[in-house]
Amino acid sequence: MELVPNNSLKCATPEEGRQLAIQLALQTAFAIQPDDQAEHIIRDAYANNPDGIIAASHVVATEFATVAAANNYWR
């Protein structure tokens, strides 16, 4: 499993950076819980739980901050 696509966090635009952040967050979740059946059980548990959705959004935001910093905030 490639956790950092193309071994780079460089992106041409903030939109690409946001997409990369989401991809990184998803890959992290799959790396932590590689069992598909268990992952579906977990997803069902948090799908209707606002705290779980907020926590997942926080992970994406953290990944995006990392990608943005690696791209000098697209300046």
Q: Which tens digits make up the pLDDT trace of 40-71?
A: 777 777 777 888 778 888 888 888 898 889 88
Does 32 map to a domain? Answer: yes
Does 34 map to a domain? Answer: yes
- Given a contact cutoff of 8 angstroms between Cβ atoms, the answer to whether 21 and 56 are in contact is no
Does 58 map to a domain? Answer: yes
Does 4 map to a domain? Answer: no
**pLDDT at residue 15 in the model:** 93
**pLDDT at residue 7 in the model:** 84
Does 2 map to a domain? Answer: no
Domain of 69 in residue numbering reads as: 12-74
- Long-range CB contacts for residues 51-58, cutoff 8 Å, separation at least 24: 56/25
Does 3 map to a domain? Answer: no
Count Cβ atoms below 10 Å from residue 71 Cβ, excluding itself: 18
pLDDT tops 70 at residue 29: yes
**pLDDT at residue 40 in the model:** 75
Q: What is the mean pLDDT of residues 26-36?
A: 79
Residue-wise pLDDT for 6-16, tens only, equals: 888 888 999 99
Q: How many domains does the chain have?
A: 1
Does 24 map to a domain? Answer: yes
